[in-house]
Structure 1
Amino acid sequence: MTDPIEPTMDETELLAEPRLVVEPGAGARVAAIATPVLEGMGYRLVRIKISGESGCTVQIMAERPDGSMLVEDCEAISNALSPVLDIEDPIQRAYRLEISSPGIDRPLVRRSDFQRYISHLVKIEMAVAAGGRKRFRGFISAVEGDDVLIEREGARDGEDPITRLPMEDIGSANLVLTDELVAESMRRGKHAEEDLKRELGLAPPPAPHAKRSDPKKSFAPKPKAKVAKVAKKPPPKNTKAHRLAARGDFDSTEGD
């Protein structure tokens, strides 16, 4: 598993990057209202979902340009967006507003999303069939132009496992939960929390020479160094018994 490749765009370009999937009907109206508010706060819209749970729930999924999202971010968005939605009134009935992060098994809705999660497992449902199929599951191999290359799971012997899918024909795409994905998400969340504390003045800025820790680095205790054995000292040769024996006054074999 290789490290995810960060998009080469800067933050302004990431904020302005269009989504590949657009909601219909009421979802589109909510998206049109929410998008400029989110971008003005430095966030990107991921998805709008309107469901009948708890009467009616309008879920707005958002993220920072780097893909992270904290509870404090959700609270800030809710406080800013609620009064705007109350005025614009895009839903013609009572509803409950829910602001959420994309989650670990997040939807991929932009070209930069596919690029960021290269080598991770994904499931894709096409709006337009590709090669006679609409559902695909495999690892993101590469992003070339407007296409994403998927290395399919379970490819038959002699069959090319790489499938090229036009991103404009994708209906939905989600990451699949794996140990590698969980580890990567935890690393991103930790760094986002550190950045937020620095923005709020709750933590000092990093030293100029400081580097973020490598998530693959092992922090297991190192084995203890072997202690060299100390050689036993030879028995002393200049004892009283030796001196007496040398003068002939002591028989060293006596008592045998």
Structure 2
Amino acid sequence: MTRPSDVAAELRRVLDPVVSDAGLYLEDVAVSPAGRRSVVRVVVDLPDGPGGVDSDSLTDVSRKVSAALDEADVVRGAYTLEVSTPGISRPLTTARHFRRAQGRLVVARTAGGEVRGRIVEVAGEDVVLDTGSRHVVALADITSATVEPELGRPTTDAEEG
């Protein structure tokens, strides 16, 4: 019997070049049972920097992922394919995640407490936040961080996604 982690690893191997060729980054792949079917969830993102994956790019990569899955025949039986972006609720865990959230308001938790500010930049292994003044937090010191939704704040094209 094939383990779900083995299937996910094989899916990542098959899909990574497909997603990369589409100019995107393969963030995650997961397979879960859903009755008699499986659900294959593929999460894609921009490779780096602020901005968002536009709907045309998401549609294009979805078609390419579907074709690659049909050809590779990795998932046994019937399945539903879901291709999406990480969304605002994704925990920020890597320097790339923080760079992707540049310009956004975040809450970062460290052993010393909570810091709330707008990401100005990621410089090496440090996140620079505007908290009313410039506040530098080492990535290694951040135990958890998330983007804080800002209702009613107009976004720029670089901040969408």
- Corresponding position of 1:61: 43
Partner Cα separation in structure 2 for residue 58 and residue 147 of structure 1: 35
Q: Show the counterpart of 2:154.
A: 183
- Contact between 1:151 and 1:163, CA under 8 Å: does it hold in 2? no
1:19-58 matches, within 5 Å, as 25-53=6-34, 55-58=37-40
Structure 1: distance between partners of 2:9 and 2:128 = 29
Q: Aligned with 1:179: secondary structure?
A: coil
Give the letter for the 1:120 counterpart. Answer: L
1:149–1:165 contact (8 Å) kept in structure 2: no
Task: Quote how far apart the aligned CAs of 1:33 are.
Answer: 1.6
TM-score, length basis structure 1: 0.44
Give the stretch that moved more between structures: 141-150 or 34-43: 141-150
The residue aligned with 1:70 is: 54
1:114 equivalent in alignment to 2:98? yes
Residue 96 (structure 1) aligned to one of 67, 74, 80: 80
- Cα distance between partner residues in 2 of 1:95 and 1:142: 40
Matched, 1:105 2:96: no
Q: Deviations over 1:159-189 (max 9, x none)?
A: xx9753328x97x754232237x633xx328
* Structure of higher CA gyration radius: 1
Residues 76-107 of structure 1: per-residue CA shift (max 9 Å, x gap): 11211112112323334432111112323345
What number of residue pairs does the alignment pair up?
A: 149
User: Taking structure 1 as reference, are residues 90 and 136 closer, same or farther at Cα in structure 2, changes over 3 Å only?
Assistant: farther
2:71 matched to 1:84? Answer: no
1:165-220 alpha-carbon deviations (Å, 9 max, x no partner): 328x97x754232237x633xx328999xxxxxxxxxxxxxxxxxxxxxxxxxxxx
Post-superposition offset of 1:64: 3.8
Seq. identity, % = 24
Q: Are the aligned partners of 1:46 and 1:109 in contact in 2 as well (CA < 8 Å)? A: no
Question: RMSD of aligned C-alpha atoms?
Answer: 4.1
1:137 and 1:27 mapped to 2: Cα distance?
35
Q: Which has the higher contact order (CA 8 A, sep 6+)?
A: 2
Counterpart for residue 122 of structure 2: 143
Distance 1:150 1:51 in 2: 37
> Using a 3 Å threshold, how does the CA distance of structure 1 residues 74 and 41 change in structure 2: closer, same or farther?
same
The answer to whether the Cα contact below 8 Å between 1:150 and 1:162 also exists between their aligned partners in 2 is: yes
Match of 1:164 among 122, 133, 138: 138
